[in-house]
Structure 1
Amino acid sequence: MVGKKRFSIFEWLLMIGFIIFSILVLYPFWQTLVLSFSDPNQASSLGPNLWPERWIPDAYQFVFGYGDIMQAYANTIVRTLSGTFLIVAFTMLAAYPLSKRDLPYRNTITIFFLIAMFFSGGIIPDYLLVKNLGLLDTRWALILPSAVNVFYIIIMRNYFMTIDKGIEESAFMDGASYFTILTKIILPLSKPVIATIALWAAVFHWNEWFHALVYIQDDSKTVLQMIVRDMLTAMDLSQSANGAAIGGGGGGSSENLLLSNVRAATVMISIGPIVLVYPFVQKYFIKGIMIGSLKG
């Protein structure tokens, strides 16, 4: 009979350390969630509030009832999905040729990309370019200007260069084309880097609001972050003007706390989809790159 495994002192200390670290990471998230549902009187008390006395969704009702936030939410989802797809697609199509050492003018193209990464024309040339292309006040203005990211291309190119060339040579001997090798061999072996870049791109598009501020005039095409920004700005101005919280009224502490509840609710609404997506992508960060790709 096999006895139970006994952990060493170092392993116990390591597990305790990870537990403490996990609590420190999760506590701010949980505190924000509790604050968004808490009664103002309970939230105003000193000390941590680990569980609300009553789950009150008033803050979420206010946020979802502010302006056309549901349309902005849908716009943000569409922008994130389409923008992430284009970034990953263009990154792969640029990185794969640059990973070939026999590509003509490979170093020149790489230097050209690096110059574009470190030096930018600025917001005015970008605005004039978007306007002259007829993209102003369209959803494409939020997607196309950021569809190519040189930093992502360099990362994926370096990753492709680590893949054993024998795999491609074997495919060439079987009559496969470059496109077939890319889609059937290289991409399945590159799930970790693709997932990483896709997550970076999704987080960028989900949080980005400046392009919507500059390029979009139609409120029906704006994004969630713009609505949240306008809402919090209006609430702060209202509080500064009359000392009241949402909807006016006296200047008691409960009204001011309601403002904090709404801020917490906007945080949860804004980060929710990204937090839900991350567990499905995280496994590729630690997965072996070339395990099982070669035999013998």
Structure 2
Amino acid sequence: MKIKTTPGERIFDAANVLLMLLLIVVTLYPLWHVLNASLSDSGRLMGHSGLLLLPQGFNLDAYKLVLGNPAILSGYRNTIVIVVAGTALNLAFTILGAYTLSRKSFMLRNPIMLAIVFTMFFNGGIIPTYLLINNTLHMGNSLLALIVPGLISSYNLIIMRTSFQEISESLLESARIDGAGEIRILLQIVIPLSMPVIAVMILFYGVGHWNSWFGAILYIRDRDLFPLQLVLREILIQNSTDSMMAGAAMGDREAIGESVKYATVMVATLPILFIYPFLQKYFVKGVMIGAIKE
């Protein structure tokens, strides 16, 4: 049966559509502008002002300079190591912690959860954390300093704990009656049933590692260990593009430098944009776990 809508509802729906279209344009245009600028001819780009809807000419020299820069390549390598190793460790420890805290038989789960929630509101501060990691744990100037301190996110732990609590206790009890231990129950029952929230955790942790630069600027001194975002920061903020334009004339360096900045942004952004669609289908289902009680 077709549901009739009132004129007010149709106006409301039209306003919603227009608002969503406006948000899409506002969200996508900056990325579209950067893409067009990175593909534009450097000289014509410098002479253009205002909105950039299409590339000004077509030139891939900026990408050749960026991909030929050893700092970019080493930054990619370090970032991939951080993202892969960090996300794997994040997931492992978050799953173990969440499963333990989701079991009603664990007597200390309430005090431990209180301590975990406490860390969401209060922390030791930058200086004590720096002294702990650099002087006490001796992780300074290593990639471990970018992985270990954020091994478990309290927010993600609570989300995953809530997801595990939604699994029927009768199902787990039947597995115990059949002789399954807690490790087997976790690996063969809980984790397969929790793939949506695990996919969300991969997205949260992975994007967090990919975009992180503040920890690197605190703890990393060796340029060979710089992650990609720290290299990107140098190029965009400190304007360190001269090493990529050794053969360019002095008058062309400013124009080429602008194209190189835009190309660097695209090189640093595209990988995570390509990964997101494969996890997006789990995103809504995962973050809604525990939101509705029946």
TM-score by length of 2: 0.81
Displacement after TM superposition at 1:63 (Å): 2.7
Q: Do the aligned residues in 1 keep the contact of 2:44 with 2:57 (CA within 8 Å)?
A: no
Displacement after TM superposition at 1:208 (Å): 0.9
How does 1:1-296 map onto structure 2 within 5 Å?
Answer: 22=24, 24-43=26-45, 44-46=47-49, 48-52=51-55, 54-66=57-69, 68-130=71-133, 131-235=135-239, 249-250=250-251, 257-286=255-284
The amino acid of 1:26's aligned partner reads L
Please give the secondary structure, in 2, of the residue aligned with 1:148. Answer: coil
Question: Whole-Å Cα distance in 1 between the matches of residues 270 and 132 of structure 2?
Answer: 34
Q: Gapped runs of 5+ residues in structure 2?
A: 288-294
The amino acid of 1:33's aligned partner reads L
Please give the secondary structure, in 1, of the residue aligned with 2:239. Answer: helix
The residue number in structure 2 matching 1:243 is none
The residue number in structure 2 matching 1:4 is none
- The alignment yields a C-alpha RMSD, in angstroms, of 3.1
Please give the secondary structure, in 1, of the residue aligned with 2:28. Answer: helix
Displacement after TM superposition at 1:145 (Å): 0.9
Larger displacement relative to structure 2 (179-188 or 51-60): 51-60
Aligned length: 274
1:122-157 alpha-carbon deviations (Å, 9 max, x no partner): 222222222322222222111111112111111111
Question: Whole-Å Cα distance in 1 between the matches of residues 248 and 217 of structure 2?
Answer: 26
Q: Percent identity?
A: 39
TM-score by length of 1: 0.80
Displacement after TM superposition at 1:199 (Å): 0.7
The amino acid of 1:29's aligned partner reads L
Q: Do the aligned residues in 2 keep the contact of 1:42 with 1:52 (CA within 8 Å)?
A: no
Question: Whole-Å Cα distance in 2 between the matches of residues 233 and 67 of structure 1?
Answer: 19
Question: Whole-Å Cα distance in 2 between the matches of residues 98 and 133 of structure 1?
Answer: 27
The amino acid of 1:68's aligned partner reads A
The amino acid of 1:169's aligned partner reads E
Larger displacement relative to structure 2 (47-56 or 258-267): 47-56
The amino acid of 1:263's aligned partner reads K
1:70-126 alpha-carbon deviations (Å, 9 max, x no partner): 112101101111101111111110011111223112211111111222211122222
Question: Whole-Å Cα distance in 1 between the matches of residues 43 and 249 of structure 2?
Answer: 18
Q: Do the aligned residues in 1 keep the contact of 2:102 with 2:161 (CA within 8 Å)?
A: yes
Displacement after TM superposition at 1:42 (Å): 4.0
Q: 1:39 to 1:144 in 2, by over 3 A?
A: same
Question: Whole-Å Cα distance in 1 between the matches of residues 63 and 144 of structure 2?
Answer: 30
Q: 1:288 to 1:110 in 2, by over 3 A?
A: closer
The amino acid of 2:276's aligned partner reads Y
Displacement after TM superposition at 1:260 (Å): 3.4
Q: 1:287 to 1:150 in 2, by over 3 A?
A: closer
Please give the secondary structure, in 2, of the residue aligned with 1:196. Answer: helix
Please give the secondary structure, in 1, of the residue aligned with 2:250. Answer: coil
